[in-house]
Amino acid sequence: MAGKWLRIGVAVLIVLAGGCARKHVQAPPIPPPPKQNVFVLLPDPEGKAGGIVVKNAAGAQDLSQSYQAVRVERSDVSPSPTFPLDPADVRRLFGAALDVLPLPEVQFTLYFDEGRDVLTPESAAQLPAILNAIRERRSTAITVTGHTDTVDTPQFNYQLGMRRAHRVEGILIGQGVNASDLFVSSHGDADLIVKTVRGVAESRNRRVEVIVR
């Protein structure tokens, strides 16, 4: 009897399979996975991470380390425990979004000969990097600020700082930068990197700061 039941069972299975082959049955759609938001704390250009709190009605999670992440499935479900992501995973998951983010601003400091608007050779060598930063960012907001040490009077130093800033401005324009994208000013001896009394020659104060946004 057992063998008979086995044979009958096989016959029934074959009939059923044959019947299915002759019919077009629409399979039910596979439900999509629940939507999730992933929050990742990225470092700044200097490699430092601040901190954020990911919070909803059900709970909160602190992110305080670079590439630390958390998932949020629904507003009524607490954020997941934090977990680390590899930078390569961040690029894979968020590459399209990262590619449209503007590059961070970058600052350059150019130094000058004492009492003159002539760049030191070391600072002149930085000019290609400044031009490259402008082109990479397609920058339309470039600040050029002149500074001096405390030799001579504040009035003279203001003018000297302005001449230094205009010197850099002229070089950048000569290399194709739009004049309307440059914002030139002078602080004279009012913003010293190295604090000194009046009348002190200090090479680190004789500078132009260029910020490319």
Domain locations in the chain as residue ranges: 37-99, 106-212
Contacts (Cβ under 8 Å, ≥6 apart) of 188: 146, 147, 148, 154, 157, 158, 159, 160, 161
> In which residue are the tokens 């930068």 written?
177
Contacts (Cβ under 8 Å, ≥6 apart) of 63: 39, 40, 41, 51, 52, 53, 54, 69, 70, 82
pLDDT of the chain, 213 residues: tens digit per residue: 433 333 333 333 333 334 444 444 555 565 555 567 999 999 987 788 889 999 999 999 999 999 999 999 988 999 999 999 999 999 998 898 888 888 899 999 999 999 999 999 999 999 999 999 999 999 999 999 999 999 999 999 999 999 999 999 999 999 999 999 999 999 999 999 999 999 999 999 999 999 999
- Tell me the two tokens of residue 99: 């590619």
Name the residue among 147, 157, 159, 145 with its Cα closest to residue 199.
157
- The CATH architecture to which 106-212 belongs is 2-Layer Sandwich (3.30)
What global pTM score does this model have? 0.66
Residue type, 23: K
